[in-house]
Amino acid sequence: MKHTAPKIMHERHVAHPKSKAGQLADLLRVRLSADEWDESLPSERALAEQYLVSRTTLRKALEILHGEGWLGECASTRSGRTVKKSQRKTHSKKRSDKVVLLTPSLNEGPILLEHLAILREMLGRRGMQVEIREIAHLLERKKPEEMLAQLVAKTPGAVWVLYKMPQPLQLAAQHLGLPCVIYGSAFPNVELPSIDVDFGAVARHATGRCLVNGLTRLAVLIHRTGLAGDSIIVNEITAELAKAGAPALLVLRHDFNRARLLDALDLRIVPLSARPDALLVVNQHHLLTALPHLLHRGLRIPDDLSLIYLSNDPVVERLSPLPDRYDLGTLLPRRLATAIQALANGERPVSSRLLPNMIVGESFATHPHKSPATGLKKGQ
């Protein structure tokens, strides 16, 4: 099947940006059309604090919506504007045909592009268009809500997908009331729907498999930027090791800087005195850097060090030795497409945690008297 390249949207060429009041009106309109407020809006003070705008800007936005028939007259700034049900019913059933996926970068590996191709194919059959926007510049901001609101205002009425977004971005999307789904795991205090691998089950299964085979000193390699799925993995491995009375988990946190990662491997993994029994890798970029480097340093995998990849993608299947890994096939992007369609129809999708299959490779030293278990179960 021939897949077209995803459409990339850049944020620098908006010729006539809306005023702050116009952008705010767009955001409030989305929430009104989704029936988020039943009888009236929150107070002006609450809305101004939520969207980080002045009362003057807020009132201009409310007047725009009043002129469109969404809101009634202002009876009190404390009680909030009344919502007109007739206008809400007229607009609430309107189906969205725009989808915007926010990602730090498209250079996340071929698995992202593969998933995007599947997503565009499935949603394209239903007349929906998928746009991709790279927002690496927002990730380092502690309070990204205002810039996210400006970004959202440029595509009113869209369904939003958050991919590899840190906690502040997830909270900002929740605070703004965006119709969105997290393509990944949500942080504990984020109540947005999310679609992801059940990394808790994967971490418990991989740890249990190590312990059964006498591998008690474990290390995990995760990304430097805190992601919810990475936190789940670290917490679950730590808990399993503690229950078994095994040594504490070694956590290596790195970005995609090759030189720094190689230095860390030489310091924490290669020396015999520091070497763990097994290395668990979460990210494809880290795997493609770590595995060849460890072999280059003379380590025999799995004789000197077992290695488990907690995901899978086509590139990994070309490596030698072939890593033991966890695979979902195309289930993840297909489940995401279903969630997006629900949001586009004004419904709230149910969060999903999907259980992958473990694929036995050539990178894990199994106990000679035990055969590897490959099935995962909820709560394992």
Which residues does 157 contact at the CB level (< 8 Å), separation at least 6?
Answer: 30, 33, 94, 96, 98
Closest to 302 measured CA to CA, from 337, 266, 277 = 277
Residue-level pLDDT at 87: 53
Distance CA(52)–CA(372), nearest Å, equals 54
The residue among 163 and 10 whose pLDDT is bigger is 163
Distance CA(100)–CA(358), nearest Å, equals 32
Single pTM value for the model: 0.72
- Structural contact between residues 301 and 126, judged by C-beta atoms closer than 8 angstroms: no
Please give the structure tokens belonging to residue 306.
């077992």
Please give the structure tokens belonging to residue 283.
């990210």
Distance CA(269)–CA(281), nearest Å, equals 13
Reported as a single tens digit per residue, the pLDDT across 54-105 is 888 888 888 888 887 888 776 665 667 777 765 544 444 455 689 999 998 8
Residue-level pLDDT at 86: 53
Residue-level pLDDT at 22: 81
Is residue 111 over pLDDT 70?
A: yes
Reported as a single tens digit per residue, the pLDDT across 149-176 is 888 888 888 999 999 898 999 999 998 8
Query: C-alpha distances in angstroms, 193 versus 128, 347, 380?
Result: 20, 11, 23
> Rounded to a whole number, what is the distance in angstroms from the first to the last CA of the chain?
37
Query: C-alpha distances in angstroms, 379 versus 60, 76, 350, 353, 369?
Result: 51, 51, 19, 12, 26
Q: Per-residue pLDDT averaged across 348-357, rounded?
A: 92
Q: What amino acid occupies position 207?
A: T
Is residue 16 over pLDDT 60?
A: no
User: Tokens 């629900």 appear where?
Assistant: 342
Distance CA(39)–CA(295), nearest Å, equals 65
Based on its alpha-carbon atoms, the radius of gyration of the chain, rounded to whole angstroms, reads 24
Reported as a single tens digit per residue, the pLDDT across 280-321 is 999 998 999 999 999 999 999 999 999 999 999 888 989 999
Query: C-alpha distances in angstroms, 172 versus 141, 237, 257?
Result: 11, 29, 28
Domains recognised in the chain with CATH numbers:
20-92 (1.10.10.10), 95-197+333-341+347-354 (3.40.50.2300), 199-327 (3.40.50.2300)
Residue-level pLDDT at 57: 87
The residue among 13 and 112 whose pLDDT is bigger is 112
Q: Per-residue pLDDT averaged across 179-183, rounded?
A: 95
Is residue 2 over pLDDT 50?
A: no
Is residue 211 over pLDDT 90?
A: yes
Q: Per-residue pLDDT averaged across 13-22, rounded?
A: 58
Distance CA(137)–CA(336), nearest Å, equals 25
